Amino acid sequence: MMRSASALALAAALAATSLAPAAALATSREDQTRVTTSSAPAKTEIKPPVAAKKPHSYTVHGITVEDPYDWLYDKSYPKVDDPEVLAHLEAENAYFEAQMAAQAPFIEALFAEMRSRIKEDDSTVPQKDGDYLYWSEFEEGAQYRKHYRRPVGGGEPQLLLDENELAEGHEYFRLGAASVSENGRYLAYSVDTDGSERYTARIKDLQTGALLPDIIPNLRSDLVWVKNDTALVYGPSTEEWRTLEAKMHVIGTPIEADVTLYKEEDQSFGVSAGLSAQKDWLIISTGDNETSEVRLVPATDPSAAPILVRPRHKGVEYSVDVRDGEVWVLTNDDHINFRLAKAPLTQPGAWETVIAGSNDFYLTDFQLFADFFVTEGRRQGLDQIELRRYTDPNTPTPIAFPEPSYTAGLSNNPEYAVSTLRLAYQSMVTPATVYDYEVASGKLITLKTQEIPSGYDPSLYVSERITIEARDGTLVPVSILMRRDRAEILKKAGIEGPGPLHLYAYGAYGYAVPPGFSTTRLSLVDRGFAYAIAHIRGGDDLGRRWYLQGKLFARRNTFNDFVDAGRGLIARGYTAEGMVTASGGSAGGELMGAVINQDPRQYGAVVAHVPFVDVVNTMLNEKLPLTPGEWQEWGNPILDKEAFAYMLSYSPYDQVSAKAYPPLLVTAGLNDPRVTYWEPAKWVAKLRELKTDDNLLLLKTNMGAGHGGQSGRWNSLKETAEEFAFILWQMGMAPKAEGE
């Protein structure tokens, strides 16, 4: 669909070749499989922090809720300076460090093992955008990337940006938007140096290497070049982290003089901007999780009166692109799985169907090129890429891939007139692969396959895709990766019968977890774990309806699907009760909290990253960054008594009770604007108070980071090593620590 900037080639080249979300002995362990690689998990004799209980309650819709850990929410947020709050978080961190100290050699060994699978001096495949080829590189040992270009006809590489240099002196660093002007002279980029997701933008003159004096603070959006490269369109952040405006900054003018092109009045909506396929129209979009509205203005004159494509209508989503005087529209207005339509620019709301909606094919995206267009979607949960001619759009040319389960899609294609397409492909067995697809011949040309320096033999692994019946009769897909010689590995480890299995899912916002490749995952699989991804409702793996069946008043389906997937894997002999480990982050962390409330005996160890567990309090607090925009996903408990009661019935924090829970590692980020630090802190405090077992419960708060944990590829990898060490330790599969 719309291209966010003329040098999208650069922005896309910044990404690594693989992106995958990160990731028992039962409470009654005496009848479970024993292992010989370690004694039962031992805990350092240090008492865990006990949070004070302070009287606090609230009443909504006649229902009173006691919340004695509310004090952990520093009311001066986003500043967190309450000494008692900070002292408690530091105490939890000290407890985490003390408990994990004995595992330090194992963490280092896992880290070294994971690092050995990463090509340290790696680079992306160069991609042409205008007069230049753009790419990025890691140098050996470096935490961050360098970004380069060179002229298409040849010449010396030009260093555009060195993230390592920008990160110096900062505990945290993340590059946000990056966009080269159409004339190739300027690079606009933004950085976040504390994890708060409030970015600051600068502009670099690529001819002189100097930074222009222009500084755009506090933004949360792309940077889009307009007005013949004399201005940038961006989205500033409100105090509540909402992007409600599209503003234009003319280079060389004071930031105070920036012009508002569009301002959204609905606090639940968010505004974004990008360029059309031919880069002649600025597309300003606004919407929430279920409703959209789009305006068009000429890219050469963004202050002109906008063209409203079609007024918002609750429940109707649409996105657009423009080509040769026609507006192309992807919308769910008459079919749940979306249709593709078009209309003349003079009547942009008169949508005429190009590709009708289908129960069999879930249309997720499209991209317009000079001589053809491409649609992306899923059929039976598997990614599909299809080329279509403007003269015969209903006769697609599908791009075929060799494996029965995989993830594939368009990669970085910044130019409009092309004869080849850049594609990305991977599976749970096949490392990330970059292809060029020749449109005329239909030939796939392999440009790069992810290199694993320590060695990788795909024939040692097997990937399966099965379905498991949930309690309401719904068939839930599960993707599984195992070693072919898993039984022998388990036998050597002293494990008899079914081995451990790690189960991962997300299950919200219509995000489908792809069955992709992960080098870190091998550290579990090579030790005899099966690794499974449950494609549960709440994601849109099987179409838009699959997503809708896991939101609002159907939210419990998500939790039930995950529990039932684990139970189904146990029943089929992949694992046993108490030998399932699980992980999830953010909304997936909410999932972890809900499933251990529902079926704690299934799990041997659980990791919840930045978990959204204090659901009711967050959805009641409309001052928090994301709350108004989230009501369409979870419900509005302020106005709707039924939504309040339903939310309260599953909210992991509110449903903690006096029973045994599995070993649990919880993470948080002090600067996290998405899931605020106090959600996991309050949850852990309540679990410590009520749980009846002596299993390990750890909370680690990154005091200088946000939602994504630590930045830098090695810092991030170290946290994954910690997570896996915790899991293996709690499963009795870690090497014996000194003194055990």
Catalytic residue IDs: 586, 672, 707
Residue 233: strand pairing partners: 224, 248
The structure tokens listed for 726 are 């915790």
CA angle 294, 298, 299 (to 5 degrees): 100
Residues 6+ apart with CB under 8 A from 402: none
Instruction: Give every strand in the sheet of 382-389, ordered side by side.
Output: 361-368, 373-379, 382-389, 392-398
SS3 call for 107: helix
Residue with tokens 């774990």: 529
- d(C-alpha 238, C-alpha 257), whole Å: 18
Distances (CA, A) of 505 to 246, 480, 512, 688: 34, 12, 9, 25
Residue with tokens 């491409």: 374
- d(C-alpha 254, C-alpha 267), whole Å: 27
- d(C-alpha 490, C-alpha 526), whole Å: 10
Closest CA to 291 of 628, 715, 738, 644: 628
Contact call for residues 725 and 734 (beta carbons, < 8 A): yes
Contact call for residues 160 and 147 (beta carbons, < 8 A): yes
- d(C-alpha 32, C-alpha 496), whole Å: 10
- CA torsion angle 333 336 340 344 (round to 10): 0
Beta strands in 427-505 (DSSP E): 433-438, 443-449, 461-469, 475-483, 501-504
Sign of the torsion angle spanned by Cα atoms 107, 111, 112, 116: positive
- d(C-alpha 564, C-alpha 680), whole Å: 25
SS3 call for 680: helix
Contact call for residues 281 and 298 (beta carbons, < 8 A): yes
Contact call for residues 730 and 698 (beta carbons, < 8 A): no
Residues 6+ apart with CB under 8 A from 362: 337, 338, 377, 378, 379, 540, 542, 543, 544
Residue 367: strand pairing partners: 374
- d(C-alpha 25, C-alpha 34), whole Å: 9
- d(C-alpha 672, C-alpha 309), whole Å: 35
- d(C-alpha 690, C-alpha 587), whole Å: 23
